[in-house]
């Protein structure tokens, strides 16, 4: 009986934590911008890094505003880039800072 109560209590705490930290579109936008900036910096010469960073930030902002959609599932969110019929990328978002590409 004690084991069942502990299990239920643990699941309730984890569920509440996921519910209250479900990522928003702004959280995903910040993650996607950091991802694109990091990708643009790889293999880039030092003088071009600032230009590449600015282009990546602008591209991420446009991609989020124009083509990103969020499906709220209460404990997590699914973010889709591109049209729903053939999405370019899909991400599972958990706890405001964990995003996994699907």
Query: How many domains is the chain built from?
Result: 1
What is the span of the domain harbouring residue 85? 2-101
pLDDT of 40 higher than 80: no
- Between 1 and 13, the more confident residue is 13
| The pLDDT of residue 23 | 94
Cα torsion angle, 77, 80, 83, 84, sign: negative
In this prediction the pTM is 0.78
Classify burial at 3, counting beta carbons within 10 Å of its beta carbon; exposed 0-12, middle 13-18, buried 19 or more.
exposed
- Residue 26 to residues 15, 32, 71, Cα–Cα distance (Å): 22, 10, 14
């Amino acid at each position: 009986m004690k084991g069942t109560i502990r299990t239920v209590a643990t699941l309730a705490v984890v569920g509440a934590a996921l519910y209250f930290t479900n990522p928003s579109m702004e959280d995903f936008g910040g993650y996607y911008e950091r991802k694109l900036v990091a990708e643009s910096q790889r293999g880039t010469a030092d003088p071009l890094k600032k230009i590449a960073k600015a282009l990546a930030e602008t591209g991420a902002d446009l991609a989020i505003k124009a083509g990103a959609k969020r499906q709220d599932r209460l404990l997590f969110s699914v973010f889709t880039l591109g049209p729903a019929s053939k999405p370019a990328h899909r991400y599972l978002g958990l706890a405001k800072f964990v995003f996994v590409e699907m």
